[in-house]
Amino acid sequence: MLDFSDTSFADFFASELRVNIDDPKYAANGGSKGKRLRYFLQNCDDATAVCILTALWEHRSDYLARSGSKDPVINAQSRYQGLINRLSGGAAPKPTQSQLQPTVDRQKIATIKAELLQVSSLSAQARGFAFEGFLKGMFDAFGLAAQEPFRLRGEQIDGSFQLGSETYLLEAKWHSQPIGVADLHTFHGKIEQKAAWTRGLFVSNSGFSNDGLIAFGRGKRVICMDGLDLYELLDREIPLNQVLEQKVRRAAETGMPFLRVRDLFPS
């Protein structure tokens, strides 16, 4: 089933629905991943079926894009949408997170801008930790369910957040020089060690070197944002979730991990 192993298949259900798909009751018709999935769908309510099918479709689309494979199923999109419409009673497609989340008010944006200026006034030693805290506050302000930095064995993750149904890990850097290919590859390596649907956002206040972006290549599971992007979205009052969704979409279309806000949202 796509690129799922038994472990990642179980992790997928646990993260999306808090369901233990390894429970023997789901293996009533056989223990394969496909048979357990079919049994689950046959015995859950329509709303739950829509939820898991939507998540599986997004994972499938991401897998095909990353592998460069041609869709082996004829009219897959229309067949999928028809099934979702039947299960949801013909309801409109699930809205994106930017449609669900209200625009942050101007006072909130002004506060966030002031906090960013405060970070820039700190000493170099204190700035990195403060930058991580600033980003968590900004992500929370736009309803992206940010988590604090956490440490796994042998590695540090600067945080995580939810964008739609996708989980993103965060890397945050405030250096004097643009980020090069080594840091990009290191972060991408962390992403590749997680579940197959995990993605990443690298935020570098000093930006990214052109040579580093070229060497990093295309088609990765990472999108990038720099300090100018942060300034642009706050100054122009563009919701952060809309910026991230547009970056993800353009990355899927072009394979490029970094496109500036001013290019994605021309004045």
Sign of CA dihedral 56, 14, 245, 102: positive
Contacts of 74 (CB under 8 A, 6+ apart): none
Q: What distance in Å separates the CA atoms of residue 132 and residue 240, rounded to the nearest whole number?
A: 16
Contacts of 142 (CB under 8 A, 6+ apart): 101, 104, 239, 240, 241
Sketch out the chain's domains with CATH numbers: 6-94 (no CATH), 99-264 (3.40.1350.10)
Q: What distance in Å separates the CA atoms of residue 177 and residue 166, rounded to the nearest whole number?
A: 30
Per-residue pLDDT of the chain (267 residues; tens, 9 = 90+): 467 888 888 877 876 767 889 988 999 999 898 899 989 988 888 888 888 888 888 878 777 777 777 778 877 777 878 777 777 765 444 444 444 444 556 788 888 888 888 888 888 878 888 888 888 888 888 888 888 776 655 566 778 888 877 889 999 999 889 999 999 999 999 898 888 788 999 999 999 999 999 999 888 899 999 999 999 999 888 889 889 999 998 898 888 999 999 999 987
**If you search the block for the tokens 């590749």, which residue do you land on?**
192
Q: What distance in Å separates the CA atoms of residue 36 and residue 23, rounded to the nearest whole number?
A: 9
Cβ neighbour number for residue 76 with a 10 Å cutoff: 14
Residue 98 CA: distances (Å) to CA of 72, 192, 229, 252: 31, 27, 18, 18
pTM score of the predicted model: 0.61
Q: What one-character-per-residue DSSP string does the chain give?
A: -TT--HHHHHHHHHHHH---TTSGGGGTT-SSHHHHHHHHHHHS-HHHHHHHHHHHHHHHHHHHHHHTPPP-STTHHHHHHHHHHHHTTSPPPPPPHHHHSPPPPHHHHHHHHHHHHHHHTS-HHHHHHHHHHHHHHHHHHTT---B--EEETTEEE--EEEETTEEEEEEEE--SS-B-HHHHHHHHHHHHTS-TT-EEEEEETT-B-HHHHHHH-SS-SEEEEEHHHHHHHHHTT--HHHHHHHHHHHHHHH--S---HHHHS--
